[in-house]
Amino acid sequence: MIIKQISVFLENVSGRLAEVTKILAAGQVNLRAMTIADTADFGILRIITAHPDKAAEVLTRAGFMAKQTDVLAVEVEDRPGGLAHVLEIFSKNKVNIEYMYASLERSQDKAVIVIKVEDVQRGVKIVEENGLKPVNTF
């Protein structure tokens, strides 16, 4: 249920994101989810892959700062209100969601979201107690 996310710190310059994806491709690392947030000077690329240790190693060896973080991945009904239902469960349990993003994974009528919460163990408990379907591997 807890999966590893890789956060990569990038200078906010043209071509830097392309360089990272090229390095990951050369290392045979396939991306399953990703998001990027930026400021004026740098960006934070967050990625999910089936091989987070390998991804971190490849990036670190190439000179990038890469950090692993525990996150949750949960299936969401792919219909209007599906995401609202999941978020309402976390809200009622007073769990702060620091950020979230969608995955490239999808099966039939389900989507997958990646959620970063303050307390991952509490997040796991809420997923289990409320019948949400966790995603354990990518």
Which one of 68, 86, 112 terminates a domain?
A: 68
Least confident of 20-24, 41-45, 65-69, 112-116: 41-45
pTM of the shown model: 0.90
Closest CA to 72 of 33, 108, 100: 100
**96 in Cβ contact with 118 (< 8 Å):** yes
Average pLDDT for 121-132: 95
**11 in Cβ contact with 42 (< 8 Å):** yes
Same domain for 78 and 60: no
Same domain for 112 and 91: yes
Closest CA to 70 of 120, 36, 23, 14: 120
Kindly state whether residue 75 falls inside one of the protein's structural domains. Answer: yes
Kindly state whether residue 58 falls inside one of the protein's structural domains. Answer: yes
Residue 46: strand pairing partners? 7, 35
Of how many residues is the chain composed?
138
Closest CA to 97 of 88, 105, 106: 88
57-100 pLDDT tens trace: 999 999 999 999 999 999 999 899 999 999 999 999 999 999 99
Same domain for 79 and 59: no
Give the domain extent around 56: 2-68
End-to-end CA distance of the chain: 11
Cα gap 41→55, rounded to integer Å: 24
Same domain for 55 and 10: yes
